[in-house]
Structure 1
Amino acid sequence: MSSGFSIRTVTSSKSANRNEHTIREAARLLWQFHCIYDPLKSSDLIVGLGSYDLRVADRCADLFHEGLADRIVFTGATGNWTKDLYSTSEAQAFSERAQVLGVPLAAIVTETTVTNIGENIRFAAQIAPSASRVIFVTKPQTQLRCQATVLKQWPDANGLVTAPLTSYEDQPTQVHDERALICEMVGDLERIRTYPVLGFQSEVLIPDGVARAFETLVDAGFTDHLPRGA
């Protein structure tokens, strides 16, 4: 287990009866549910969804060098988790990282105003409307939500979703620790559950075990990333 890998004390009164093992087991269930890793094929475009995790840009660069696509689109403005992390937008930070890793600037397109997954995907569709197959690269724990959004927002694209090949233990970073990771997964599961009725995503069947793990983590206080009003 990585050094510094720990769950911060949660403030919910219900957390007193939750031990660390129970929380981690529930968190790993959500992690496994969110991580899908589609088999990849040669594609027309790679889309890197901006975030606090530069490993996404690294993965995009690797796929580019493997010849899976000859163009990368990086999308993302600045969000709550990145406003103090980058001196510029998420998309620009990812672009700069990819260039350091040998991706030519001419192969990169950036969109620096979008603020959510749906906007990321709609922008990519606008700049490559004729693309028949697109690889979407995001954080491991965001893959399922990305897939559900692609199916709704860009149904004509054969969207393949992947992420850095990171384990649950290695996913936390200095700026996004294990507690933040768990809160993110809890919040995204709630969005997977509720966003289809709003027209944002396609429906996803949530297994009973995953639903119970979600409730365990909500009861334990990992609610920082829940949508407002949830």
Structure 2
Amino acid sequence: MITSQNWADAEQLWDFQQMHHELRPCSVAIGLGSHDLGVADVTADLYHRGMAPLIVFTGATSRTTRERMPRGEAAHYRERALELGVPDSAILVEPHAQNTGENISFSRLLLTEQDMHIDSVLLVSKPYEERRAYATARKLWPDVEIVSASTSMTLSEYVDSIQDSHLVFNMLVGAQQRLLSYPQQGLLVRQDVPPDILAAYERLCESGFTARLTARQ
């Protein structure tokens, strides 16, 4: 059962994880693979709005996407973008990445192999992954400007769209944990986390939303 305190804590994390960047045109849009096909929708919309002339969809499968996206996250994202009118010539697919670091590194390698000059990246993710994705990209691709983007939704609206509140809460808590622990492992740049966000995160862990945690640090 999800309590009112759980919701309040999750909403704090939800807002903190979003970077609230002002969108601007970039060299490429990179859609990070996940269980959420809405990332492809947002990326396609940004393409149509002239925010990027090229899209890279990146992602293999994970334990949460093997059944939902059996052909791989990037492949399903591409199919969705084509349905939404993005030309195939504007889409590159990176089908091997299995985590955010690989999403960034493999996409960078793919673009290098295509002899593309990239000075800015429109990084499209789930709303609660924006900050971690940004911090990862700043670590692994420090010489480009990163602009974060995601669908504009409240936590309640997002849960309604996914139809699995526990999945969203567990993923949100997992994203926050990685933001805290991964800088020590050299996987992303450090982000300052306010005390109230730390307290909300700990309460959610104590309430059992730990399915997406790595070994606690």
Q: Tell me whether the two structures share a fold, i.e. TM-score over 0.5.
A: yes
| Alignment match of 1:197 (pick from 177, 184, 189) | 184
Report the Cα distance in structure 2 between the residues aligned to 1:127 and 1:220, rounded to whole angstroms.
41
What is the match of residue 165 of structure 1?
152
Percent of paired sites with the same residue: 34
Report the Cα distance in structure 2 between the residues aligned to 1:147 and 1:197, rounded to whole angstroms.
16
Deviation at 1:34, TM superposition (A): 0.6
Please identify, of 187-196 and 171-180, the stretch whose mean Cα deviation from structure 2 is larger.
171-180
What is the total number of aligned residue pairs between the two structures? Answer: 213
Deviation at 1:123, TM superposition (A): 1.6
**Maintained 8 Å contact 1:37/1:163:** no
Report the Cα distance in structure 2 between the residues aligned to 1:26 and 1:161, rounded to whole angstroms.
23
Q: What TM-score, normalized to structure 1?
A: 0.89
What is the match of residue 16 of structure 1?
none
| Unaligned ranges ≥5, structure 1 | 1-8, 11-19
Q: Which amino acid aligns with 1:118?
A: G
- Structure number with bigger Rg: 1
Deviation at 1:41, TM superposition (A): 1.1
What is the match of residue 152 of structure 1?
139
What is the match of residue 125 of structure 1?
108
**Maintained 8 Å contact 2:173/2:205:** yes
| 1:100 equivalenced with 2:87 (yes/no) | no
What is the match of residue 53 of structure 1?
36
Deviation at 1:69, TM superposition (A): 1.1
Q: Which amino acid aligns with 1:126?
A: L
1:60-71 → structure 2 map (5 Å cutoff): 60-71=43-54
| Alignment match of 1:135 (pick from 99, 122, 125) | 122
1:37 and 1:128, CA in 2 relative to 1: closer, same or farther beyond 3 A?
Answer: farther
1:112 and 1:173, CA in 2 relative to 1: closer, same or farther beyond 3 A?
Answer: farther
Q: Which amino acid aligns with 2:147?
A: L
Deviation at 1:87, TM superposition (A): 3.0
Task: Look up the SS of the partner of 1:23 in the other structure.
Answer: helix
Task: Look up the SS of the partner of 1:172 in the other structure.
Answer: helix
| Unaligned ranges ≥5, structure 2 | none
Deviation at 1:174, TM superposition (A): 7.1
**Maintained 8 Å contact 1:56/1:163:** yes
Deviation at 1:175, TM superposition (A): 5.8
C-alpha RMSD of matched pairs (Å): 1.4
CA distances 1:14-58 after superposition (whole Å, capped 9, x unpaired): xxxxxx111111111111111123111111100000111111101
| 1:226 equivalenced with 2:213 (yes/no) | yes
TM superposition outliers: structure 1 runs of 4+ over 3 Å: 173-176
What is the match of residue 186 of structure 1?
173
Q: What TM-score, normalized to structure 2?
A: 0.94
Please identify, of 161-170 and 139-148, the stretch whose mean Cα deviation from structure 2 is larger.
161-170
